[in-house]
Structure 1
Amino acid sequence: MQGALRSTLWLGFFAAILAAWMVMFAMSTDMDLDLLGRPGEMGAAMAAMDPRMPMDMPMARFGPLFAMWAIMMAAMMLPTLVPTLRAYEDLMTSANGTRAGWLGVLAGYSLVWVGFAATIAAVQLGLLFGGVIDMLGIAKSHWMAGGLLLVVGLFQFTRAKEICHGVCHSPAMYYLGHWRTGLTGGLRMGLGLGAFCVGCCWGFMVLGFVGGVMNLAWMGLATLFMVLEKLPQIGHVVTKPMGFVLIIAGVAVMGWPVLTGG
């Protein structure tokens, strides 16, 4: 019975991830974007639209943007939760954990990222109406794009990143220090773990404004890296190298207009 319940819950978990990616792909197709977020004729026309024009443009309204970001959070962040949920399972027998607690961890973690989705949707609207990004969420300035790459790259070397990554990388230690039983206990731990995860990974969401928030290739690469960051065996050795890569990319992007005379 317990084995069947475990299998059902894990299958539902992975089905939710697959569904989120399928929805993102469908949204990208509807917006006439390829896997790199590059627009076709219709997508280019959408990107050039003025958000202040008196017409219904979903990407200029909070509701559709929030829904898009919430689905994106499910697609990108649920895969990174696998080691955390596995760590909870390892403690279920010795620490009186339950499947309800497992679901609580998942729910708490998801609630935090839904809150982040609301925040970044509001940020995107502010940037859009401020003329900083276009309708597809792509930075209009090389300086803006390069600056974001630099900021996120430098963040990889900060104490805040080290602390937040330490919790994400070793969730068992967090459980041991904050263990609560039952659904409510799991929910509380999930909220805490989600907060540390946002602190660890926010930068990779913000970088969507560099290549476009609907760039599925970027989303896939970012998801892969964040999963690697949380793996116990290698997570601690990939954080700083990625920081160097992002810093170099930021300098290159900001220097490109100078080199080309653009």
Structure 2
Amino acid sequence: MFKGTDKYIATKALQQAVNAAILLEKPLLIKGEPGTGKTLLAEELAQSLDTELIQWHIKSTTKAQQGLYEYDAVSRLRDSQLGDERVHDVNNYIIKGKLWQAFCADKRPVLLIDEIDKADIEFPNDLLLELDKMEFHVYETQQQVKADIRPIVIITSNNEKELPDAFLRRCFFHYIDFPSPLEMKAIVDVHFPNIKSQLLTEALEVFFNLRDTRGLKKKPSTSELLDWLKLLLAEEIDTKTLHDKSHQGGLMPLFGALLKNEQDVTLIEKLAFMSKR
């Protein structure tokens, strides 16, 4: 049973979702804001089970077929022109994809299909049968590849586009809510166990106030908070400096770790200026 790890704080709801998906042998579809630990979940799950993590990071140009296998016809043509003996065996030109690797693993692996919503809208539908039956056909060799052990499949999405209903029906779904201040403190304690309590309290107040700012184009995430705290500790920033509004247009120290575009920087500067009037 997955209960989180020393480095990953999992809520009860997330623990239940992971264990339910494993029990049902269904892919676990994880949604949530960027930076809330969706990808890290798969990494820590694999570590907790002492098994292999196979990662398939999806791009806008990724095709479902690439997850199964690819036939390198160009290399075979080149080798035939050079008289290479390899050309007589088509298996030399079959490149195994991430699903094939997961299906053939000796021990039940964790397969991460990361940011599935980046791909074409038909991408999830093109994997329906393979993820459901855990098998596929290799036409070039007339081989049927079938998983002897069903991998644990974690699929992440940032909600950039809606996923097809037929695909959703085959998944167990969980949305990772953004951590509360108390949950965030527990997460920070894992990464920075020696951070001073007062500094952490003040930093979290600044962070959550920033997230609550109306009109902010991109709210800072958990991973960005951890980066910011790492910088605060490295620069030995104290609580007094943290609240010093007399420099940098009223921005917090090392604001570049939290604010990622000029519109948000300008917005915070304007709000700081107005609060002084």
Q: TM-score range by the shorter chain?
A: under 0.3
> Greater strand percent: which structure?
2
> Per chain length, whose mean CA-contact separation is higher, i.e. which structure has more relative contact order (CA < 8 Å, sep 6+)?
1
Task: Output the TM-score relative to the length of structure 2.
Answer: 0.25
Q: Which has the larger radius of gyration?
A: 2
Task: Output the TM-score relative to the length of structure 1.
Answer: 0.26
